[in-house]
Amino acid sequence: LRYFISGGAALNPEIARFFTSLGIGILQGYGQTEASPVISVNRPGQVRMETVGPPLPGVEVKLGPENELLARGDLVMQGYWNAPDETAKTIQDGWLHTGDLAAIDADGHIRIVGRVKDLIVNSGGENIAPAPIEQDLVFHPDVEQAVLVGDGKPWLSALLVLTEAARESARDQAETVREILRATNAGKPAYLQVRKAIVLETPCTMDNGLLTPTHKVKRQRVIERHQQQIEDLYR
């Protein structure tokens, strides 16, 4: 076994380094169904673990407003079936608007930061992509799922679902949460630190409508369901 190909969700660089230390490479790629479906991928010998690699041959990429990743080429779909208005929003002048926030290195490697619609703007005007912080939270061994909140607020908070082992542990839950936040906040500037958290008793699942078929948490739906708890947290 020489390489895994990783896609579908962001790959934590620590996981990539773990497999690399075993002599197994991971080539992280990126794409969308609307792009047939691959836009970019790391190449053997030119891997940057924190990126999804440079675009495939024949694919053009650039950053649009709010640093949204745009892609153009023969791989872009003709349109959504019987949905001309939605197609017009997604494909403009031949460019596919991916809805993903990104950065592009000088040598063309693409780094996905988060989703445009998920961007948090705090009361100080800082733009914060929640995905990297949520990934740090979930990487903690006691956290199963995490949703970052703080839009229009002075500081960040999180909605956490603890692992089954953490829920059944005899440890004090409040201390467990403090430990999780200390680990997540280490080395981050103040505006990216998570100050408080709400522990959710019920995990996000497809049955309760809070998880997509590809096992991604429906952030906005979770936030809406727990809006009162969030508001109480900031009082």
The per-residue pLDDT for 65 is: 84
Question: How large a percentage of the chain has pLDDT more than 70?
Answer: 100
Mean pLDDT in the chain?
94
Coil, strand or helix at 25: strand
Tokens encoding 226: 């727990």
Q: Look up the pTM and report it.
A: 0.80
Is 114 within 8 Å of 126 (Cβ atoms)? no
The per-residue pLDDT for 11 is: 85
Is 60 within 8 Å of 110 (Cβ atoms)? no
The per-residue pLDDT for 8 is: 82
Q: Span 167-194, mean pLDDT?
A: 95
Is 93 within 8 Å of 105 (Cβ atoms)? no
Coil, strand or helix at 182: helix
Split at pLDDT 50, 70, 90, the class of 9 is: confident
Question: What are the pLDDT digits (tens) for 117-155?
Answer: 999 999 999 999 999 999 999 999 999 999 999 999 999
Phi, psi for 114 (deg, rounded to 5): 165, -170
Question: What are the pLDDT digits (tens) for 21-38?
Answer: 999 999 999 999 999 999
